[in-house]
Every structure is written in C-alpha cells, then in structure tokens.
Amino acid sequence: MPELLQFLLSGITVGAVYALVALGFTIIYNASDVVNFAQGEFVMLGGMITFFAHAAGLPLPLAALIAIIVTAAIGVALNKLAIEPARGAPVVSLIIITIGASIFIRGATQLVFDKQIHRFPAFSGDQPILIGGATILPQSLWVIAGALAVFVCLWLFFTRTLIGRAVLATANNRVAAQLVGINTNYVMTLSFAMSAAIGALAGVLVTPITLTSYDVGLALALKGFAAAMLGGMGNPKGALVGGLLLGVLEAMTAGYVSSQYKDAAAFIVILAVLFAMPQGLFGRKSTDRV
C-alpha cells in the first residue's frame, strides 16, 4: 500500500499547485467573465521576482512580499493599460488581449531578468516527511496550506463582504451595478490586483518544487485553467477541488497505467465531466431571463 499512498501524496502536491493557479482565475472571471490567460505569467513573476530579490541579498519573506506587491501592480497596470481602454469590446476580444499581455510579460521578463531556470530554498528545508512508508516534502504542505488559505479567504470575500458581492454584481450586469452605486472601474482594478497577488503568492509557494523560468507561465496557466474548468469556472470551491482532482488523476495514471498517458487520461476525464456537466462540478447554472 505505500505505493498508493505515494501516488496520492504526489497527486496532492501537484494538485495543490494547480489549485493555487486555478484560484487566481476566479476573481477576474467573477468580475468580468474574462478568463485571464496572463494568470500563468503572474505565477511566473511571483517566482522570478522572489528569486532575484532573494539573490540580491534580501531575506526570503521580504523578497516574497516585494514579488507579490510588484506583481499586483503589474496586474493593475494590465487592467488600466489594456483591459479598461477596450471596455466596450466583447469578452472574446478581452481574452485575446490577455493572451497578448501574457506573451508581452514573458518577453519582458526574459529581457529584464534572464532565460535560465531558477529555484530558491524551500521554506522549511528539504527533509522529506514520512507518512506510512510514503514521503512528502515540507514545501508541499506549504503549497497545500496556501491553497486552503486562499480558498477560505476568497470564499469569505465573495459571500461575506460587500465589496465581494459588488464584484459579483459587476460581472452579472455592469450597468445595473453602476446604477446601484458600485464603482465598476474600481472593482475591475481591485480584481486584477487581487488575482495578480494570488498568482504571485502561488509562484512564491510552488517555485521550490516546480522551479521557475520566464516561460513556465503558459504550462501552469493551461493546467490551472483545466482545473478551474473541471471544478466550475468562477467558484473557489471548484478551483480547489478541480485542481486536486486533476493532480491525483495524473499521479494515479502515471503510477498504475503508464506515465505516457498521464496527461491524456486527465484530459479525457475533464472532457467526460464537461460533457455531462457543462458548468463543471460546482459551476453556477446560467439562467438567462428573456
């Protein structure tokens, strides 16, 4: 049985990474129906900025804080410079803008920093923790805790705070939201800042495991996006469950079937789920009033 446990722990480690990335998608999606494909670049920036700040001599926590703040600022800039001017455009155009932004950020990072792969030390060392014959690295626990913490915060934010409800209202009907006194521009800016900050936090937490370089964002965004779709776009619970499910699916396929079919098996399950439940596992049903 230690094999099963090891596969499970591996799946949870990877799944928590996907879940953290997927959680970043939810806020912007909830505020504007836009799937932000630059989300992966936020994760990459979190890791890269932390590495270079740490390499420049700053202590790790300070470096991580700087990375999160700088990335949040980049998120705001992305909204102000690219999304806001195109406000009237259909959602598809906005999504294409985020793809452009992601290519731009990748290119800029490769010029500002470098093209090498980097890693900074794990927060609590590299000594594996033994659980019933299987092992997990302490950093994986940090990632899992990070994903849970972000999930709880987001859930409280969307259900218990006025501003969270304002975000949902903006997505639902921008004009109506403005009519009841919601500053929709502010809501959009806030949601980009928060999404970018969550992305950067994910980058800070996962880099000791996944390593980082200027081009890791795309792969992370794709897996995170798949996880979010599986769980139901826009729902923090969906992002968390979708991410973990995807990770465990991959690990089990790699362990019991063949590592060759790992990605294929995961995507077949996603397709099957979306076929039966187009909104994902926890997605909200869309009911349009006619």
Partner 1 sequence: MKFALTTTALALILGLAAPAFADIKIGATISETGPASFLGDPEAKTLKLLVEEINAAGGVNGEKLELVIYDDGGDPNKARTFATRLVEDDEVVAVIGGTTTGTSMAIIPVFEDAEVPFISLAGAIEIIDPVKPYTFKTPHTDRMACAKIFEDMKKNAITKIGMISGSDGFGASMHKQCLSIVGDYGIEVLADETYGPTDADMTPQLTNIKGKEGIQAVLNPGFGQGPAIVTRNYAQLAVGLPLYQSHGVASDGFIELAGAEAAEGVRLPGTALLVAKLLPESDPQRAVVTAYKDAYEKATGKPVSTFGGYAHDALRILVDAIKRAGSAEPSAIRDAIEGTKGLVGTTGTVTMTAEDHLGLDLSAFRMLQIEKGGWKIVE
Angle at 18 between CA 35 and CA 47, to 5 degrees: 90
Closest CA to 228 of 242, 217, 213: 242
Specify whether the CB–CB gap between 66 and 72 falls below 8 A: no
Pick from 157, 215, 267, 274: which binds partner 1 (CB under 8 A)? 215
The 8-class DSSP code of residue 126 comes to S
Cα separation, 221 vs 224, whole angstroms? 5
| Rounded least distance, CB 128 to partner 1, Å | 5
Q: Which of residues 7-26 bind partner 1 (CB under 8 A)?
A: 7, 9-11, 13-14, 17
- As measured in angstroms, the least distance from the Cβ of 259 to partner 1 is 5
CA distance linking residue 31 with residue 177, whole number of Å: 11
One residue of 124, 126, 152, 278 binding partner 1 per CB under 8 A:
126
Report the SS3 class of residue 131.
strand
Burial 24-50 (b: 16+ CB within 10 A, else e): bbbbbbbbbebbbbbbbbbbbbbbbbb
* Residue placing its CB nearer to partner 1 in the complex, 36 or 210: 210
Nearest approach, Cβ of 27 to partner 1 (angstroms)?
A: 24
Total of chain residues touching partner 1, rule CB under 8 A: 36
Among 233, 251, 270, 273, binds partner 1 (CB under 8 A): 251
Site for partner 1 in 96-125 (CB under 8 A): 110, 115-119
Structure tokens at 123: 């927060």
Give the footprint of partner 1 on this chain (CB under 8 A). 3, 6-7, 9-11, 13-14, 17, 110, 115-119, 126, 128, 135, 137, 206, 209-211, 213, 215-216, 219-220, 251-252, 254-255, 259-260, 262-263
